[in-house]
């Protein structure tokens, strides 16, 4: 990612997000720290900036347990760039939320090494290319959101209001609902809206007994819905 994109704490996406704001560095513009203030409660939280020399467990948006990174939540953080393959080197990662940024390029195959991952939210970016087959190794996934990965104008707005040109994207593609989908048996929520996914919806979809929400609008699926989908009694 662009180094400039790590200079902020970013938006805080919580229930009272409208009351939260970044209030800057405690030690000046060159500091490795930044603070976020809850205007409703007055609570001030101090975080280490990303890529600083501090322990990564103190970085903004990172949650650790037992000394291992368990969660990376950087939604609406003005990130610009690609997902690095090194993400797969966090074997105990359970949650990754990079939604509503300016992330482009493909999803790296190393994502399949995150065997503990339960929630992956990459919506509202500019990702493109084929879904890696390794994604189906994520057999503990509960939520998968890949929606709205279309970027027609090729521009991304930074915090300071300036724009950076990024590649255009017609969305992610591939046969994500083929027979491999049956391997994600714990999946409860999947959103694929506004991409370029194709192929058939496999009868294996019937194995997702816990699936409660499935949105596939604005793709190019061509098959009819298999009868097995009626076995999904939790689907709304």
Token pair in block for residue 55: 């322990």
Distance CA 217, CA 193 (A): 5
DSSP designation for 59? B
What would the pLDDT profile of 59-100 be if each residue is shown by its tens digit? Answer: 888 999 999 999 999 888 888 889 999 999 999 999 999 998
What would the pLDDT profile of 174-205 be if each residue is shown by its tens digit? Answer: 999 999 999 999 999 999 999 999 999 999 99
Which residues, 6+ apart, have CB-to-CB distance to 220 below 8 Å? 196, 197, 198
């Amino acid at each position: 990612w662009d180094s400039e994109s790590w200079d902020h704490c970013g938006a805080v996406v919580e229930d009272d997000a409208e009351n939260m704001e970044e209030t800057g560095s405690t030690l000046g513009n060159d500091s490795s720290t930044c603070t976020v203030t809850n205007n409703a409660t007055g609570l001030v939280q101090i975080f280490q900036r990303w890529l600083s020399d501090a322990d990564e467990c103190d970085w903004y948006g990172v949650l650790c347990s037992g000394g291992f990174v368990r969660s990376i939540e950087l939604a609406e953080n003005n990130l610009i760039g690609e997902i690095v393959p090194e993400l797969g080197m966090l074997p105990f990662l359970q949650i990754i939320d990079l939604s509503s940024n300016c992330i482009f390029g493909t999803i790296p195959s190393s994502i399949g090494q995150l065997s503990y991952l339960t929630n992956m939210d990459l919506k509202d970016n500019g990702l493109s290319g084929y879904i890696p087959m390794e994604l189906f190794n994520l057999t503990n996934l509960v939520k998968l959101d890949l929606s709205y990965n279309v970027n027609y104008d090729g521009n991304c707005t930074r915090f300071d209001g300036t724009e950076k040109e990024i590649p255009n994207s017609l969305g992610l593609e591939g046969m994500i609902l083929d027979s491999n989908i049956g391997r994600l048996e714990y999946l409860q929520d999947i959103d694929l809206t506004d991409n370029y996914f194709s192929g058939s919806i496999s009868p294996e979809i019937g194995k997702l007994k816990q699936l409660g929400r499935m949105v596939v609008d604005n793709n190019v699926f061509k098959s009819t819905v298999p009868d097995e989908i009626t076995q999904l009694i939790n689907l709304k």
